[in-house]
Each structure stands twice: as structure tokens, then as C-alpha cells.
Chains A and B, each alone.
Chain A
Amino acid sequence: MHNYNVPIIKNLSENIKKIKEISGGSSDVLINEFVTGSIKCALLCCEGMVSTALMCELVFEPIVNIPAKKDSHELFNHIEKYMLMSSDRPKADNYETLFRLLNSGFAVLIADNINYALAFGIQGYASRSIQESSGESNIMGSHEGFVEIIRTNMSLVRRRLKTPELVMEIFQKGEKSSTDLCLCYMKDRVPKKLISDIKNSLGKIKLESVLSTGYIKPFVERNKFELFNSAGTTERPDVFCSKLIEGRVGIFIDGVPFAITVPKLFCESFQTLDDYAFKPYYSTFIRWIKYMAFLTAILLPAVYSAIVTYHPELLNSTMLMLLVEAEKNAPLSITTETVFVLLMYEIIREAGLRFPKTVGGAVSIVSGLIIGDAAVKSGFVSTPLLTVSALAVMSGFVIPELNQQITLLRFAFLISGAVFGLFGISLLGCAVLTNICATENYGFPFTAPVSPFSGSGMGDTAVRSDIKKMQDRNFTVEEYHE
């Protein structure tokens, strides 16, 4: 493993030679040698990372007009004190920092007989513009979503929380990638211990690269097996800000349009910012629809299979005869049919995600024809079963954030229902409930405010209280800490 944490060489030629050696002769590392102030200098940049216009206007033009200086120190002193050139002007005294700045879109100035470099932030790389978030759509709120550039994301948050209490600390992780991470928190709201614990956890990261939230999340969650994530992610700046105000900690990752928020509570998966834009009674109604949808998504196929197979007395006789008639030609057992239909839905969903958009329509047609028409007409699957499975799948789409857990739990409950009927479903339900109640992050229980019960917390969980009632609460997550 190479260690580039060596001081910068004073001699310019040797310095340039060293830089070429470290970069391996990369074609995108541009080195422009010139003389200014009677001192030999070189300006380094990465092609495509800097804005050529800004470089000419802010760097080249002023820098070549410097009067003669005694030595490089005087030259750099003059540039630092009397020439602004850019708002972000770090220094690099070793090659590791130099290359990190170079690869971050800085223009780096080196000179003869000086052992440090000046960098100018004139980034101009191509990036995606701010668009609506793809996974967290809403009706009444902002339509802006995070992007891949960390500083743009920081600005989206800063625009919404114009308070000096908002702290954003940038640091780098990833030995090869040197990815910028940003820790955000409201210093008057966040529990002090939470910040120090999270910093300790992040300090344990020894990855080579950080390319998605999935690389960081395991470090800010507990090591034990947890079905549900105790660290949340969001693509929306307004949601992110609401979490920060509640005393949570947010983490941005450069290159990823998702932010991590810690800690997360189970009930948050059922809350959207739209809830606070609608009338309280409607928001409460929609919340309960989501809770029922969650249970329907997980339990409906299993309960249907268990009841029809083992507990038909639970159905009234008319419905039972309907099902018997529908299943007359079905060659497989109810459970096998259900597993088959659910697997087909998962395959279609995954295909719909991965297919190129130009042929995406074909997926809908094929799936509709094969599953919806041919399978039923041939008697391979029955219509009631298809209806039940479709209802369960659609209910799962109501809470896309929990899609992973819903999909797997649906199959697990189906199998337990197939083996032990409603008894099996109850046993697995106990195990899942235990796992959910065991989930906690930095002392914040995942099941708060249901357990530990908080009456005031239920005002934003069981119902959606009026904003006027909530405004005096001054809620922070510290209330739930155990």
C-alpha cells in the first residue's frame, strides 16, 4: 500500500516529476508550467473537473499579472492576502491532500522552492440538476430532491434552516475514494452523547471506498440482526430538515442523493410531510390506512392460506363455497399457488425496475396477460387467490420504504401459516414483534412512542394533531431515550 502522506518537494521539477509518478501519467491530470512574479510555478487541475471559464477569469488572469517577488513565500503570501480568486482556498502540504483536492475539482498552484501548495475551489464538473425525488413523491410539499453533489445538498438544507445552530462538519472516509461525508445536526437540539457516539462509530470505518448509503449504515446501526433499519434514509431536503429539528443527526455522502438520519423510529415509515399539509382528520385517516396496509401486505396471503387450509370455519359458508368453486380446477394446493403468484409478482416488479425504459411497457403487457388472464383462464391459479395476492402486493406499495421487509416477511408468514395455520402466524408474529422491540439505536428504542409509551408522542403517531397543538411541544428524540 502506497503512503502519499509525504511532504511536498520544494524543487519544482522534482515536484512535477513526483506528481506525474503518483498519478501514473494519467491523461486527465493537466500541468501548466508558467512564470509569475519572476517565480517558476505550475497550475494543476483535473480535466473535466474544473470550470475552464472560471479558471481563466479567476485564476489565470490575475495570477499572471503579479509583480516580481523576492521568493516563492512572498509570492504565495501576496496571493493569499491580496488576491481572492475563489471562496474556498485550502492549502496542501502533502501529496495525499494535494491529490484529494485535485480530484475534488480544485485548481492547485505549486511553486519552486516552497513546500506547500495553494488550491482554489473552481469546480465545474457536470452534475445532475435538482429534480423531484423519485422514491418519495408528495403532493403539497417541495418537489426538490437531493443530488449527488454534497455541497449542493448542504445548500438545500441551509436554505431551509437559516439558523446558526445548524452545524455541518465535513470529513473524508474511504482510503481510495476519499469520499466527502457531512455530519449535520442542530447543536441546541441534538443529545450530546448521540453526536459523540455517532462520531465514534464513523471513526471505525476502514473501507476503501464509500459509494452508497449501504456502506455507512451498518456502522451507525447495531451489530445485532435487525429486520428493520434503525437508521433512516431520505431523498428530500424538507424531510431531512424536519428530522434535524427533532434532534436527529444527518449524514450526507458525496455522490449519493440520499441522506442518512439517525436514530429512526418505526412509526416514521408511515409518516410523510404531506400529512402536515392536509387536514388533521384526513391525515389521521391516511395514517391508519397505511398501518392497515402494512398488516395487509404482510399477513393477508398467509391468513388466507391458513384459514382456507386449516380454519375454514372462520369463513362464512357462502364465501367458502365460492372459494371451493373457484379452486375446483386448480392443480396445486393453496399455499403453492400463493407462493407461485407472489414470486411472479416479485419477478415482474424487479423486471420493471431493471428493464430499459423503452421496453418497460412490454413488461406490463406480458405480466398482465400472463398472470391476469392466461393463468386464471387455464385454471392454474384461482381468481380469489389472485385478488388476495394483488391486494397484498398493492398494500405493500403504500409504504415503499419498507418494501424489503414486507416482501420477506410476507413469504415467512405464508410458510408459517402453511405449516401451522394461524398458530404458526401467531408464533412468527411474536418473534417479529420481539425483533422490532429489540431494535434500538444509541439507546433510542425503535418502537417509541408506542413502547415505551408516550401520550404526547401518540399525537403524531396514532393521530395527526393540529399543528397549533404540536408547536408548543418542542419535541426532540431525547424524550424517547432509555
Chain B
Amino acid sequence: MKKILISFLSLILFTGCDSDGHIQKRNYLRSLSVDGDNITMVFFNDDTLNFNSDISSAKYIAEKLTGNEIFTGHTELIILGDCDKKNILTFMIEKWKVSPDCIIIFGNENILSEKNTDDITGMIKIKEKNHEIPKADIISTLSRILN
């Protein structure tokens, strides 16, 4: 019994020491633009990635291109151009688990090349506060689309 316990504990120790615990070996997605098949990703370290793909395999392709795992839970901005907005937003919530405060804009990828994420999100929040636009977070936006 003691041997089994010791082996089990050793196994756990080994598991704990593997490479999964390296947070610096991930890319953290900050903003995303989807315009047809054109995907643009901007990360927190200011790297930008452009490629063609459908949304379901976008993360996999991006991980292949960068060589690092991509974490999407802190996505702050999503720009949707010519695409199925309902399916993409559903996919973002269910699979990518983006932050509920993630801002959704309908536009094209040029917005990301003209302004940085901070400026865009700041502008949207000011407009929301002044009731110039309805709530732009992903939940409210998807709610409006579904209903």
C-alpha cells in the first residue's frame, strides 16, 4: 500500500514539473479582426499576425505559425467584417472563452492597422458612457443579434 502511494505521489510530482507551467511560453490574444477569411490577431506583446483561415481552425494555425500556445481568455476587442457574426460570436464565447467585457465592433481589419487597441476600446467606452451607442460587450451584442 505504501509503495502504491509513493509511486502515485512521484507521478504527481513529475506531472507538476513538466513544461505546462511556463506562462511566458504563451501568446496572449488582445484583439482579433475577422473579415471573410482574413484573420488578424494582435497580441499583448504588440506582435501582429495576419493569415487566411476559417475561425474554427484559426487558433490552431496561429499556434503553428508562432510556435506558442495562444490564450484567448483576455481578448479585449473583436472586429467583425464580412462574416457570419452570430456563429463567430457564439464560437468566441463557447470555445475561446473570451472575456465577457470583450468589445465587439462591426468593421474591417483596417481599423486595427490605423489605431491601436487601447485607443479603440477607450473610444467605445466613452461613447457607451455618453449613450451614443448601445452596450458593445460581446454578451449584449450577441443578445441583440439572437433576439
Contact B24 A330 (CB under 8 A): yes
Q: Which of A312, A323, A330, A339 contacts B74 (CB 8 A)?
A: A312
A320:B21 contact, CB within 8 angstroms: no
Does the CB pair A313–B23 fall under 8 Å?
A: no
B36 at interface (Cβ–Cβ under 8 A)? no
- B91 at the A interface (CB under 8 A): no
In angstroms, Cα B73 to Cα A305, docked, is 18
Q: Does A127 contact B (CB under 8 A)?
A: no
- CB contacts (< 8 Å) of B5 on chain A: these are none
Contact between A328 and B24, CB atoms less than 8 A apart: yes
B44 is contacted by which of A305, A308, A317, A414 (Cβ under 8 Å)? Answer: A317
- Contact between chains at A418 and B16 (CB < 8 Å): yes
Q: Please, which residues of chain B bring their CB within 8 A of the CB of A333?
A: 16-22
Alpha-carbon separation in the docked complex, A328 to B19 (Å): 14
In the complex, what distance in Å separates the CA atom of A31 from the CA atom of B15?
A: 70
**A321 in the interface (beta carbon within 8 A):** yes
Q: Which residue on A lies nearest to B28, using beta carbons? A: A320
Beta-carbon contact of A327 and B22 below 8 Å: yes
- Identify A327's interface contact among B13, B24, B73, B74, CB under 8 A: B24
Chain B min CB distance to A403 (Å): 22
Interface residues of A in 312-352 (CB under 8 A from B): 312-313, 317, 320-321, 323-324, 327-328, 330, 332-336, 339
Name the one of B9, B19, B71 contacting A312, with C-beta atoms under 8 angstroms: B71
Cβ-defined contact, A317 with B74, below 8 A: yes
**Complex interface: chain A residues within 8 A of B13 (CB):** 415
Q: Could you tell me if A313 and B44 are in contact, using CB atoms closer than 8 angstroms? A: no
Interface size grouping (class) on chain A: 20 to 34
Q: Decide yes or no whether B86 CB sits under 8 A from chain A.
A: no
Contact A320 B74 (CB under 8 A): yes
Identify the closest chain A residue to B9 (Cβ): A415
How far is B23's CA from A418's CA once the two chains are assembled, in angstroms?
13
Contacts A317-B28, A321-B44 given; does A309 touch B71 at CB 8 Å: no
The count of A-to-B residue pairs whose CB atoms sit within 8 angstroms is 71
Cα distance A416–B12 in the bound complex, in angstroms? 8
Contacts of A309 in B (CB 8 A): 20-21, 23
- Other-chain contact of A334, B21, B71, B73 (Cβ < 8 Å): B21
CB distance from A372 to the nearest CB of B (A): 22
Q: Once the chains are docked, how many angstroms separate the CA of A419 from the CA of B24? A: 19
Complex alpha-carbon distance, A372 and B12, angstroms: 29
Known: A312-B71, A320-B28. A327 touches B16 (CB 8 A): no
Asked if residues B73 and A313 are in contact (CB atoms below 8 Å), the reply is yes
| CB neighbours of A328 from chain B (8 A) | 24
B16, B17, B28 — which one has the most chain A CB atoms within 10 A of its CB? B16
Residue from the list B12, B19, B76 in contact with A317, Cβ < 8 A: B76
A70 to chain B, nearest CB (A): 72
Contacts of A308 in B (CB 8 A): 21, 23
Which residue from chain B places its CB closest to the CB of A323 in the assembled complex? B23
In the complex, per-residue mask of B86-126: 1 if CB is within 8 Å of any chain A CB, else 0: 00000000000101000000000000000000000000000
Which residues of chain A have C-beta atoms less than 8 A from B99's C-beta? 313
Against A, the Cβ 8 Å flags (1 = close, 0 = not) of B1-37 are 0000000010011011111111110101010000000
Q: In the docked arrangement, what's the CA distance between A336 and B9, Å?
A: 15
Return the chain B residue nearest A306 by Cβ. B21
Distance in Å from the Cβ of A302 to the closest Cβ of chain B?
Answer: 11
Q: Given A305-B21, A313-B99, A334-B23, do A415 and B28 touch, yes or no (CB 8 Å)?
A: no
B30 to chain A: which residues have CB within 8 Å?
Answer: 317
- Bound state CA distance, A321 and B21, in angstroms? 15
Which of chain B's residues have a CB closer than 8 A to the CB of A419?
12, 15-16
Closest CB in chain B relative to A355 CB, distance in Å:
29
Q: Which residues of A contact B97 (CB under 8 A)?
A: 313
Decide: A415 and B16 in contact? CB cutoff 8 A.
yes
- Name the CB-closest residue of A to B22: A333
Q: How far is the CB of B100 from chain A (nearest CB, A)?
A: 10
Most B CB contacts (10 A, CB to CB) among A305, A335, A339 go to: A335
In the complex, A22→B129 CA distance in Å? 97
Complex interface: chain B residues within 8 A of A317 (CB)? 28, 30, 44, 74, 76
Cα-based distance from A240 to B84 in the complex (angstroms):
74
Q: Are A324 and B74 in contact (CB under 8 A)?
A: no
With the chains together, A335 CA to B21 CA distance in Å?
7
Contacts beyond the supplied A317-B28, A339-B17: 16 A-B pairs with Cβ under 8 Å: A312-B23, A312-B73, A313-B74, A313-B97, A321-B28, A321-B44, A327-B24, A333-B18, A336-B21, A339-B16, A414-B16, A415-B16, A418-B12, A418-B21, A419-B12, A419-B16
- Residues of chain B having any CB pair with chain A under 8 Å: 9, 12-13, 15-24, 26, 28, 30, 44, 71, 73-74, 76, 97, 99
* A residues lining the B interface (CB < 8 Å): 305, 308-309, 312-313, 317, 320-321, 323-324, 327-328, 330, 332-336, 339, 414-416, 418-419
8 A-B interface contacts by CB (under 8 A): A309-B20, A312-B23, A321-B44, A324-B23, A333-B21, A416-B12, A418-B21, A419-B16
Closest 3 CB pairs of A and B: A333-B21, A418-B16, A313-B73
